[in-house]
Amino acid sequence: MHNIFSYLYIFFVPLLCISTIAVNAQTKGNELEVVNESQEQLSLFLEKIPSGSEAEFGFENREDFSSAIIQDAYNVLLPNADFYADESIDSLKTYTYYSKYWEIPISVDGNNCCFLIGMFVDDEFKIFTICSKSISSSIKIMNKNKGEGKYKNYILKFPELQKEYFICSDSEANIRSSKGVEICYYQNGNCTNELALREILKNEKKNLKKNKSHEY
């Protein structure tokens, strides 16, 4: 079974080559399309789970499949070109963008078990895999934060640094301005601290520079 760091590096590093896309196209009307398509394809992907591997995906047995439902989708945020190009973080600039990738939790009796991963291809949402519970630190933090109705949730990933953050925001404008956003950094599913997004960006910019210096 792949660990979370292998998953992040192999799957998300290629995404950094994708150009920035329009925010509204991915975060508003299309969210309903993500959820509807995921629910429609759910049984197909559940059947792809090998017999005997149900527990790795958060299920007690295959009978749980009949009770599984799709929860709210999480848009994946990625650092944009300015994050990599700028020497330091400018308080007036935005350094993240809404990617075309989404993670969609699958739950049984209100508890998130595993998730689907999909993306928009030519304005149509496609699901291409189901990921086990063991490779996602996201699952535990999603369960802790479910039911927070006034917040919109996202997952921010830094692929080369093998880190991800759970973001709770009460408006898209907060994320676009990188201000006033509640961040929970988690490792192995455990929330370790809460930081403002601006501080996260500064810290990861420093870590990126350190990594590059070690390459020489």
Number of domains the chain is built from: 1
Tell me the residue length of the chain.
Answer: 216
The proportion of the chain whose per-residue pLDDT surpasses 90, expressed as a percent, equals 33
Q: Cβ-count burial of 19 within 10 angstroms (0-12 exposed, 13-18 middle, 19+ buried)?
A: exposed
pTM of the entire structure? 0.74
Q: What average pLDDT does the chain have?
A: 76
CA 211 to chain centre: 23
- The CATH number of the domain holding residue 206 is 3.10.500
Whether residue 149 is predicted with pLDDT greater than 90 in this model: the reply is: no
22-64 pLDDT, tens digit per residue, is 444 445 458 889 999 999 999 999 999 999 999 999 999 999 9
Burial 140-159 (b: 16+ CB within 10 A, else e): bbbbbebeeeeebbbbbbbb
SS (H, E, C) 118-164: EEEECCEEEEEEEECHHHCCHHHHHHHHCCCCCCEEEEEEEHHHCEE
Say what the pLDDT of residue 186 is: 52
Look up residue 211 and give its DSSP letter. Answer: H
Whether residue 80 is predicted with pLDDT greater than 60 in this model: the reply is: yes
Q: Where are the beta strands (DSSP E) in 159-204?
A: 163-169, 182-187, 190-196
| Two tokens, residue 146 | 């479910």
Say what the pLDDT of residue 29 is: 54
pLDDT, greater one: 106 or 30: 106
Say what the pLDDT of residue 190 is: 54
Please report which helix (H) or strand (E) contains residue 40, including its range. Answer: helix 29-46
pLDDT, greater one: 216 or 173: 173
- 31: phi then psi, degrees, rounded to nearest 5: -60, -40
Say what the pLDDT of residue 2 is: 47
pLDDT, greater one: 15 or 142: 142
Question: Is beta strand 190-196 parallel, antiparallel or unpaired with respect to 182-187?
Answer: antiparallel
Say what the pLDDT of residue 167 is: 78
User: Which residues have C-beta within 8 Å of that of residue 212, sequence separation ≥ 6?
Assistant: none
What range defines the domain where residue 27 resides? 4-214
179-211 pLDDT, tens digit per residue, is 555 566 555 455 556 667 888 889 999 999 888
Say what the pLDDT of residue 136 is: 54
Q: What is the mean pLDDT of residues 145-155?
A: 61
Rounded CA-CA distance 120/101 in Å is 7
Q: What is the mean pLDDT of residues 10-32?
A: 48
